[in-house]
Structure 1
């Protein structure tokens, strides 16, 4: 009888072990550039992509929480690497089995590295909160498959951290925020880096070993910054801030990789290619790189895309979807550049992605 109990126990342990050794998944921490629906479940949030025409070129064409017409950069990179697309943490259908199969996306529109960033959105998850939710996720997984198996699962997973733009656009560059008149630009970036260092060290303590941090693009060239400027052109000062942030973040990632045991923390830089796309759109097949595809006529900035907005005739020819966010076509170029820069190779031998690149944009008129 004891021998039979031991045999059953060994079989159960083997099943748990094999379950934990399934396909590698990814966990995503970020803002609206990576959000796949978390903010839609925050009842008081003012930063939601839950209205047409968001998601028009994705799946059934209905809003899905992504702040673009199609896929995010993280979607595209994950697809090309054979990684499952992680569901939103607040998805009511999320289960521990889904986490083990697909990972989780904690990204939240309006979120930043700093807790004080994006306060006027009322509800959003900044990075510290996302890390707290990740800790809770680990506890759920450990309860399901055991501490050792969970440790292996999280150590083998891949991680994306993609925040920073809101810390400037919806904090430092807005006079209503205390940070804008408390720090010089250099001091503020140092503040961001010291906070980010703490956050990445905490993540390392939770078993995060393979991590990519997405850098900022030329923020001064997004439609919002153009229309807020005097000339309508790119704001050089804002672009320089993004460049300084990227340099500091790249150095931070290198330092952490040297000093944190078994950590491979890498910086995903696409600044130059985005700048080139904006300044030479025809070279990449675009026709417009200075205004949003989804806009409210001459009323600028419209901030978000809404049902009353008008759409450009061909979404694939526009770099920007709304005042802040790139189109699917632009996101693909960004993703491919990051993949090339970091030499990413497919991880899982998975089948086709749930949704590939959108079909040529249909006319709505």
Structure 2
């Protein structure tokens, strides 16, 4: 009889422990994207040619060493997550990731060079396309279900926030790149329709996997990034490229609205910061910048230098530059973009404590050695 009581007590304790563990699952985010959101996946892909593994990437983040982010500080997703009280998700390939880390922090599958289309970014050799990122997410779900049970896992994934932020590579490293078949196979409108058809299938799959609250980041004025400017004869923004971004955003906004109405319990929102970024670029001084057409980190007259390297020279004050390198915005610009997107979203703070940012304020650049 005493043994029976002891066994019953043990069972109760185990069940209580499981219930406590399941109840403690907080809201986290799962991020799907490209180099604008990558936090280290590509740095761990040995054959990838799109890596932020050298100084001066990450100079204004944490210890100032490269961390996989393609900027000097935070990504837009970092900043929005901080404002919502969400923990910063580690990269899927981070060796410290296990089921407990996932339950506490979520995961980022974002990969530099990735696109909506699988063929996008093939010149980078190794990257996770959006299809591959979703496949990896399915593997994550299997691990979590094994850890806490299917019912608790389903609630965990349903309560989570999802960020999807990609599309620019589908243009810059596909449609606008003549080595790709898509560049001559489609008109601009036809290519955007292909992207929307593919994206609809991908977002619908994410919904089927549990995504209910989802943000899709729209494109900025791609024709104004330093890489596009330097390829033009005048150094001006390439308006044809900008128009593609605007058309993509219009179609994407309509798609997210339609999915929100048609998918059960879905709140799919489109985060559009095109206008504010265009305004910052055209009138930088009004937003605290003094340069909006060239990268802070560059090799001087050698343009375009696609990545920032230890041999590059840095601008004197990184907070005054809209662009960090030929392609990616600076931490300060990302903050403006994040604030604009947040102003248009209906999500609110989801966890009781706010995550403490691990970014240091931009300061004077150290001298390259």
**What is the TM-score when the length of structure 1 is the normalising length?**
0.97
Query: Which residue is 1:326 aligned to?
Result: 329
- Residue equivalent to 1:40: 43
**Superposed, which structure 2 residues align to 1:149-228 within 5 Å?**
149-228=152-231
Separation of aligned partners in 2, 1:241 and 1:9: 61
CA-to-partner distance for each residue in 1:223-250, whole Å, 9 max, x for gaps? 0000111210111100000000000011
What is the CA distance between 1:345 and its match in structure 2?
A: 2.3
- Whole-angstrom distance in 2 between the partners of 1:363 and 1:125: 33
* CA offsets 1:65-105 (integer angstroms, 9 cap, x no match): 00000000000000111100000000111111000000000
Paired with 1:289 and 1:106, the residues of 2 have a C-alpha distance of 30
Instruction: Verify the 8 A CA contact 2:34 2:115 in the aligned structure 1.
Output: yes
CA distance in 2, matches of 1:40, 1:216: 24
Q: Is the 8 A contact 1:39 1:65 kept in 2?
A: yes
Instruction: Check 1:11–1:156 CA distance in 2 against 1; reply closer, same or farther (3 A cut).
Output: farther
Structure 1 residues 189 and 7 mapped into 2: Cα distance closer, same or farther (>3 Å)? farther
Evaluate the alpha carbon distance shift between residue 148 and residue 308 of structure 1 in structure 2; reply closer, same or farther with a 3 A threshold: same
Any idea what SS the aligned residue of 1:186 has? helix
Alpha-carbon deviation of 1:341?
Answer: 1.0
Does residue 55 of structure 1 match 2:61?
no
1:20 maps to what in 2? 22
Query: Paired residue for 1:257, among 234, 257, 260?
Result: 260
| Residues 17 and 149, structure 1, Cα contact 8 Å, conserved in 2 | no
The 1:242–1:55 alpha-carbon spacing in structure 2 relative to 1, beyond 3 Å, is: same
Ranges in structure 1 where 5+ consecutive residues have no aligned partner: none
2:366 corresponds in structure 1 to 364
Where do 5+ consecutive residues of structure 2 fail to align? Answer: none
1:268-283 correspondence to structure 2 within 5 Å: 268-283=271-286
Q: For residues 240-288 of structure 1, give each alpha carbon's deviation from its aligned partner in whole angstroms, at most 9, with x where no partner exists.
A: 0000000001110011111111111110010000000000101110000
Q: 1:14 to 1:255 in 2, by over 3 A?
A: farther
Secondary structure at the aligned position of 2:162 is classed as strand
Task: Tell me how far 1:337 sits from its aligned partner.
Answer: 0.6
2 CA distance for matches of 1:293 and 1:328?
Answer: 11
**Distance in 1, Cα, partners of 2:155 & 2:19:** 9
Pairwise CA distance, 1:132: 0.3
Any conservation in 1 of the 2:118–2:130 contact (CA below 8 Å)? yes
Tell me, in whole angstroms, the C-alpha distance in 1 between the residues paired with 2:257 and 2:207: 14
CA distance in 1 between partners of 2:11 and 2:264 (Å)? 34
- CA shift in 2, pair 1:5/1:194, >3 Å: farther
| Residue of structure 2 aligned with 1:247, choices 246, 250, 260 | 250
Distance 1:211 1:5, change over 3 A: farther
**Pairs aligned (count):** 364
**Pair 1:294 & 2:288 matched:** no
Q: What is the SS of the residue equivalent to 2:190? A: helix
The answer as to 2:96 corresponding to 1:93 is: yes
Q: What TM-score do the two structures reach when normalised by structure 2?
A: 0.96
For residues 343 and 10 of structure 1, the distance between their equivalents in structure 2, rounded to whole angstroms, comes to 41
